[in-house]
Amino acid sequence: MVKKGLKRWLPSGRATVIGIPFIWLLLFFLIPFAIVLKLSFSEMAVAVPPFTDLIEVAGEQINIRLNLGNYAYLIQDPLYLQAYLGSLRIALFSTLLALLVGYPIAYGIARSSPSVRNLLLLGIVLPSWTSFLLRIYAWIGLLKSNGLINNLLISLGVIDAPLHLLHTDLAVFVGIVYAYLPFMVLPLYTNLVKLDMRYLEAATDLGAKPWKTFLFITLPLSRGGIIAGSMLVFIPAGGEFVIPALLGGPDTLMIGKVLWEEFFNNRDWPAASAVAIVMLTLLILPIIWFHKHQSEEMHTP
Amino acid sequence: MTQPADTAPPPPAPDTEAGDYIRLQGITKKFDTVTAVDRVDLEIAKGEIFALLGASGCGKTTLLRMLAGFEIPTEGSIFIDGTDMGRVPPYNRPVNMMFQSYALFPHMTVADNIAFGLKQDKMPRTKIKTRVAELLELVGMTQFIKRYPHQLSGGQCQRVALARSLAKRPKLLLLDEPMAALDKKLRERMQLEVVNIIEGVGVTCVMVTHDQEEAMTMAHRIGVMHEGQILQTGEPHDVYETPNCRRTAEFIGTVNMFPGNVVEDHPDHIVVNTKDLARDIFVDHGITGSAGMKVWVAVRPEKISLSTTPINAEYNCAAGTVEEIAYIGGTSVYHVKTANGTIIRTAMANVDRKASQRPTWEDQVYLSWQANAAVVLTW
What is the pTM for the complete model shown?
A: 0.81
Q: Do B97 and B68 meet the contact criterion of CB atoms below 8 Å apart?
A: yes
pLDDT of B13: 42
pLDDT of A283: 81
Residue A176 main-chain phi, psi, to 5 deg: -65, -45
pLDDT tens per residue, range B124-135: 999 999 999 999
Selecting from B70, B107, B167 the residue whose C-beta is nearest the C-beta of A201 gives: B70
pLDDT of A299: 56
Chain B residues whose CB is inside 8 A of the A220 CB are 107
Over 60: is that where the pLDDT of B201 sits? Answer: yes
Nearest alpha-carbon partner for B302 in B347, B249, B251: B347
Q: Do B147 and B197 meet the contact criterion of CB atoms below 8 Å apart?
A: no
Q: Do B103 and A300 touch (CB under 8 A)?
A: no
**B356: buried, middle or exposed (CB in 10 Å: 19+, 13-18, 0-12)?**
exposed
Q: Do B99 and A216 touch (CB under 8 A)?
A: no
User: Which pLDDT band, with edges at 50, 70 and 90, does A181 fall under?
Assistant: very high
Q: What is the spatial distance between Cα B283 and Cα B369, in angstroms, rounded to a whole number? A: 10
Q: What is the spatial distance between Cα A140 and Cα A171, in angstroms, rounded to a whole number? A: 9
> Helix (H, G, I), strand (E, B), or coil: what is residue B333?
strand
pLDDT tens per residue, range A247-300: 988 888 888 888 888 888 888 889 999 999 998 888 888 778 777 877 766 555
Selecting from B90, B107, B150 the residue whose C-beta is nearest the C-beta of A205 gives: B90
Chain A residues within 8 A (CB-CB) of chain B? 196, 198-199, 201-209, 212, 216-217, 220-221, 223, 300-301
Sequence letter at residue A276 = A
Over 90: is that where the pLDDT of B57 sits? Answer: no
Q: What is the spatial distance between Cα B128 and Cα B221, in angstroms, rounded to a whole number? A: 34
Task: Tell me how far the alpha carbon of residue A56 is from its chain's centroid.
Answer: 38
pLDDT of B253: 84
Task: Tell me how far the alpha carbon of residue A139 is from its chain's centroid.
Answer: 20
Chain A residues whose CB is inside 8 A of the B121 CB are 207
pLDDT tens per residue, range B283-293: 888 787 778 88
pLDDT tens per residue, range B70-113: 999 999 999 999 899 988 999 999 999 999 989 999 999 999 99
Over 70: is that where the pLDDT of A192 sits? Answer: yes
In chain A, which residue's Cα lies nearest the Cα of B168? A206
Q: Do A122 and A129 meet the contact criterion of CB atoms below 8 Å apart?
A: no
Task: Out of A44-53, B29-38, B306-315, pick the least confident.
Answer: A44-53
In chain B, which residue's Cα lies nearest the Cα of A212? B120
Mean pLDDT over each residue of chain B, to the nearest integer:
88
Parallel/antiparallel/unpaired status of strands B221-226 and B34-44:
unpaired
Q: Is the ipTM of this complex over 0.85?
A: no
Selecting from B69, B100, B116 the residue whose C-beta is nearest the C-beta of A206 gives: B116
pLDDT tens per residue, range A88-132: 999 999 999 999 999 999 999 999 999 999 999 999 999 889 999
Q: Tell me the nearest-neighbour CA distance from B111 into chain A, angstroms.
A: 14
Q: Do B103 and A207 touch (CB under 8 A)?
A: no
Average pLDDT for A213-241: 92
What residues contact residue B117 under an 8 Å CB cut-off, 6+ apart?
A: A206, A207, B96, B164, B167, B168
Helix extents (H) in chain B: 60-68, 110-120, 125-139, 154-166, 184-201, 212-218, 236-241, 246-251
Q: Do B150 and A301 touch (CB under 8 A)?
A: yes
Average pLDDT for A186-196: 94
Q: Do B103 and A199 touch (CB under 8 A)?
A: yes
Altogether, the residues listed in chain B come to a count of 379
Selecting from B97, B105, B148 the residue whose C-beta is nearest the C-beta of A199 gives: B105
Average pLDDT for A143-166: 89
Q: Do B96 and A209 touch (CB under 8 A)?
A: no
Q: Do A206 and B150 touch (CB under 8 A)?
A: no
Q: Do B117 and A206 touch (CB under 8 A)?
A: yes
Sequence letter at residue A141 = G
Other beta carbons less than 10 A from residue A296's beta carbon: 9
Q: Do A202 and B99 touch (CB under 8 A)?
A: yes
> Helix (H, G, I), strand (E, B), or coil: what is residue B151?
helix
From residue A297, give the alpha-carbon distance in Å to each of A181, A292, B107, B108.
24, 9, 11, 14
pLDDT of B356: 67
Chain B residues whose CB is inside 8 A of the A202 CB are 97, 99, 103-105
pLDDT of A2: 61
Q: Do A221 and B106 touch (CB under 8 A)?
A: yes
Other beta carbons less than 10 A from residue B103's beta carbon: 24
Q: For B293, what's the count of Cα atoms within 13 Å in the CB-facing half-sphere?
A: 14
pLDDT of B314: 84
In chain A, which residue's Cα lies nearest the Cα of B90? A205
Q: How many CB pairs under 8 A join A and B?
A: 63
pLDDT of B341: 86
Q: Do B150 and A201 touch (CB under 8 A)?
A: no
Q: What is the spatial distance between Cα A64 and Cα B220, in angstroms, rounded to a whole number? A: 89
